[in-house]
Structure 1
Amino acid sequence: MARKPRVWFPSAVYHITKRGNRRSALFYDKQDRLTYLSMFEEARTFFPCILHSYCLMTNHIHLQLETIEHHPQHIMKMLNSRYAVYFNRRHSYEGHLFQGRYRAELILSTDYFLKVSKYIHLNPVEANIVKSPEIYDWSSYNAYISSQDNPHISTSRTLSYFPEPATEKYRAYVEGKNTLIH
């Protein structure tokens, strides 16, 4: 039976997830994570897109990705295939790194857009890795709540939904202290 084609149109936004094969690790250390982010940037030079948020967990990834002119399949194919080759070479492995096809949920509303951003940033907290999302080094959260620069993401759309001071309001939204958005 053929796979159901994914819905795509220019400027479509997705919550993309990808898991390690049999839930095995995708990242062993800082170098693996930095390489993944570097490879994302390389893929973006071929297939421009906007990354609104991300979280690199040990055995899976979350990307909140907005397309521009290319279907996300092109971005994900380049990124995942290159990263799998790198990972297998570096760690002397063979075979599949990723489990099946990447998952891409289309985001069609502002409410869902913000819920996905919150979910992604709280993922390490929910997994009991950290007590607070700003402690986790491998997500885009700190770019939202501090002056820390993160060249991989754009915070402007997400923060535009919050009244000033938007960074404080976003933090309150994510950390459950306030759900007021504009």
Structure 2
Amino acid sequence: MKRRELGVETLYHVFNRSIAEYTIFTCEEEYIRMENVVRYYKNKRNLKFSRFLKLDDAQKTNNFVGEKLVEIIAYCIMPTHIHFVLQQMNEGNISIFMNNIFNSYTHYFNLRHKRKGPLWESRFKHVLINNDEYLIHLTRYIHLNPVTAGLVEKPELWEFSSYKEYIDQRHYGGHNICDFKKFLDINSSSYKEFVEAGIDIQKEIAKIKHLIME
């Protein structure tokens, strides 16, 4: 059965996990590599990221600008999985983006760890975001993933998500990963309060899910 194409200029929660929940981000360097891969491939590229890294600074500047494939509204990289909120510019762009980042990171990880074979489940999953309330609560859920998993006490202590971009604690100059302000009418302080208000609720939901699965 042919898969339906995702809509253009529509928002989706896009996510995938590693095969058998294998830990595929084992240190800070690997998380940063994935963030750089994501930032690079959100635009259309003629060069693979591994080749781009070998260019001099002038060549990198000339090759960094490209036609945008997706808008990234939010993301979180976890030890065994990854979450995005995405909007694609043209039909098929989300698939291109996800395939590019998965292939690039798999190649890097396999070389680094002297292994072979796939890292990710066969295909990413996606859920349509059909209203603003769902969107704002979804970003909170995504940004609280590391807290719910017990990796950190506060979401701002997890460096590998878009949360710090939302609360104005981190900037990437002209190369930000996310562009959320055109989709969410929020300010940093009120969003921080909104997210912190959900910490206990999300932890309780996680406990209930765990009990159900036992």
Q: Normalising by structure 1, report the TM-score.
A: 0.86
Letter of the aligned partner of 2:189 in structure 1? Answer: E
Q: Verify: 1:67 aligned to 2:92, yes or no.
A: no
- Map 1:64-143 to 2 at 5 A: 64-71=85-92, 72-143=94-165
Please give the alpha-carbon distance, in whole angstroms, between the structure 1 residues aligned to 2:197 and 2:182. Answer: 20
Q: Verify: 1:58 aligned to 2:76, yes or no.
A: no
Q: Verify: 1:152 aligned to 2:177, yes or no.
A: yes
Please give the alpha-carbon distance, in whole angstroms, between the structure 1 residues aligned to 2:159 and 2:145. Answer: 12
1:72-116 per-residue CA deviation (whole Å, 9 max, x = no partner) reads 111111111121111111111111111221111111111111111
The answer (yes or no) to whether the contact 1:17–1:61 under 8 Å persists in 2 is yes
Structure 1's 113 and 6: CA in aligned 2 closer, same or farther, altered over 3 A? farther
Letter of the aligned partner of 2:166 in structure 1? Answer: Y
The number of equivalent residue pairs is: 171
1:131-154 per-residue CA deviation (whole Å, 9 max, x = no partner) reads 111111111111111342141111
Tell me which stretches of 4 or more aligned residues in structure 1 moved more than 4 Å.
Answer: none
> Which residue among 190, 193, 211 is the counterpart of 1:169?
190
User: Residue 50 of structure 1: SS of its match in structure 2?
Assistant: strand
Please give the alpha-carbon distance, in whole angstroms, between the structure 1 residues aligned to 2:193 and 2:4. Answer: 34
Partner of 2:22: 24
Which consecutive residues of structure 1, in runs of 5 or more, have no partner in the other structure?
A: 178-182
Letter of the aligned partner of 1:119 in structure 2? Answer: Y
Partner of 2:204: none
Q: Percent identity, please.
A: 27
Q: Normalising by structure 2, report the TM-score.
A: 0.74
Structure exhibiting the larger radius of gyration computed from Cα positions:
2
> Which residue among 66, 69, 86 is the counterpart of 1:48?
69
